[in-house]
Amino acid sequence: MKNLKEKISIVMPAYNEAGRIVFSIEETAQAFNSFGYPWELIVMDDGSTDDTYEKAIALLEKYPQLIVRRNPANMGKGRAIKKALHYITGDYTLFLDADMDLHPIQFQALFDIMRLDKADIVIGSKLHPNSIVNYPLQRKIISFVYYLLIRILFNLPCHDTQTGLKLFKTEVLRNVLPRVLVKQFAFDLELLVNAHHLGYKIAEAPIILNPQRSYGRIGPKSILATGLDTLAIFYRMYILRYYDRIDYYRRKNLAKESGRMRR
């Protein structure tokens, strides 16, 4: 029997998704109603310039489980997710992209793997042998090269850190998210590297990916930026040892700030 007390929080970052957001919320609601766990869906609109926010709040009455928050200006997906931590009340948290490339019905598979593997985190992976993915060769090559890079740099037991379907025990997020600085282009990696460093177990799940947009949003500029942010995480992890000395750095910054205030 399901333990009906276990509540699932879904965090859906959304930036200029007006064309899709209603469909995404409805699909997610339908999927989670059919699972039978209590759930909540937190949509984090991030200064969209279209009417993503207006379309999302129009569904508040229909779905009491829906929470919609808006940032006045665009701060990036990572920071929006970090902010969502204030609203999460579930025992488990699913990160789910708003574009529905990955259907929320796949949550159950991730949840089963979490219990079978006794994992703290389960991430969807495009490179899993059982994944059914339909995306351009160019992006497959980028994914694979990026995997090699992070394997060499961090020895992370993950093949694909970038996929928009990830399940966490909420307590893991409460421990790890406050530690991450949120490099805009490598937020997922920074989160996973820190979770791994703290000893949390990460498992991978096969996914079915159905790209809904005919164009990808990543270009050469964001590839370069992702590479640089990845190296910045390496530098902080192994050279600066920032994440191990985070309390020291926090105290130092506080001292600097109070010094500035006294002057």
Ligand X SMILES: Nc1nc2c(ncn2[C@@H]2O[C@H](COP(=O)(O)OP(=O)(O)O)[C@@H](O)[C@H]2O)c(=O)[nH]1
Main-chain dihedrals φ then ψ at residue 41, nearest 5 degrees: -120, 120
Report the residue number, 44 or 176, with the smaller CB distance to ligand X.
Answer: 44
CB nearer to Mg ion: give 20 or 236: 20
From the list 80, 119, 150, 186, which residue makes contact with ligand X (rule: CB under 6 A)? 80
CA atoms of 106 and 255, how far apart (whole Å): 47
- Comparing CB distances to ligand X, the nearer of 16 and 237 is 16
Residue with smaller CB distance to ligand X, 81 or 119? 81
d(C-alpha 9, C-alpha 156), whole Å: 26
Least distance in Å: CB of 212 to ligand X? 9
Kindly identify the residues of this chain, within the stretch 21-50, that bind ligand X according to CB under 6 A.
44, 46
124 lines the binding site for ligand X (CB under 6 A): no
The only residue of 90, 104, 124, 164 in contact with ligand X, by rule CB under 6 A: 164
Of residues 101 and 190, the one with the C-beta less far from Mg ion? 101
Q: Please tell me the distance from the alpha carbon of residue 120 to that of residue 122, in angstroms, as a whole number.
A: 7
Distance CA 167, CA 90 (A): 12
Query: Which of 8, 76, 119, 229 touches ligand X by CB under 6 A?
Result: 76
Gap between the Cα atoms of 109 and 93, Å rounded: 14
Nearest 5°: phi and psi at 47?
65, 35
* CB-based closest residue to ligand X: 46
**Within the chain, how many helices (H) and strands (E) appear?**
9, 9
CB of 128 to ligand X, least distance (A): 17
User: How far is it, in rounded angstroms, from Cα 110 to Cα 107?
Assistant: 5
Question: Per CB under 6 A, which region of 97-105, 116-124, 168-176, 202-210 contacts ligand X?
Answer: 97-105
Q: Side chain identity at 255, as an amino acid letter?
A: A
φ/ψ (deg, to 5) at 123 = -115, 140
Beta-carbon contacts of residue 114 (< 8 Å; ≥ 6 apart) = 92, 120, 121, 122, 167, 169, 203
Which residues inside 190-219 make contact with ligand X, applying CB under 6 A?
216-218
Other residues' Cβ atoms within 10 Å of the Cβ of residue 188: 20
Judged by CB under 6 A, the stretch of 95-103, 108-116, 141-149, 150-158 that binds ligand X is 95-103
By the rule CB under 6 A, 229 interacts with ligand X:
no
Which lies closer to ligand X via its Cβ, residue 74 or residue 175?
A: 74
Binding site for ligand X (CB under 6 A): 13-15, 17, 44, 46, 74, 76-77, 80, 97-99, 101, 164, 216-218
